[in-house]
Amino acid sequence: KAGVTQTPRYLIKTRGQQVTLSCSPISGHRSVSWYQQTPGQGLQFLFEYFSETQRNKGNFPGRFSGRQFSNSRSEMNVSTLELGDSALYLCASSERGDGEGTQYFGPGTRLTVL
């Protein structure tokens, strides 16, 4: 089975712009979670989608949003970018996504905001 894929792998944007990141989960996995990883804060949960519904949301501002399509692919959008949004954004998929099963991570998208 192919692993989790994320596009693009690297992205450079300027403050105020918006960005859309994409994640394709492992075939058959219906849960997709998004994380932000920074040296200062570690891995922080953004949100989780299951069967096209946002099931859980972390403590991030409304500028961070996402969606999931019927084929389980997910997109994450960040509007009005700030310097502090520079981070590695990781997507992880799992079969159930209920905090019980194993999550498989994609390679991440490295976002730099100038």
Interacting residues toward another protein by CB under 8 A? 4, 33, 35, 42-45, 48, 55-56, 58, 90, 97-108
- In terms of Cα–Cα distance, which of 23, 19, 29 is closest to 107? 23
For tokens 């979670």, the residue is: 33
- In terms of Cα–Cα distance, which of 92, 108, 6, 90 is closest to 49? 92
Instruction: Quote the tokens at residue 64.
Output: 């961070």
Min CB(33)–another protein separation in Å: 8
Closest CB to another protein among residues 81, 90: 90
Instruction: Quote the tokens at residue 97.
Output: 């996504």
Min CB(80)–another protein separation in Å: 25
Return the number of other C-beta atoms located less than 10 Å from residue 107's C-beta.
14
Closest CB to another protein among residues 18, 30: 30
Q: What is the DSSP letter of 98?
A: S
Phi and psi based region of residue 42 (left: phi greater than 0; alpha: psi -120 to 50; beta: remaining): left
Closest CB to another protein among residues 11, 107: 107
Min CB(108)–another protein separation in Å: 5
Closest CB to another protein among residues 40, 62: 40
Min CB(83)–another protein separation in Å: 22
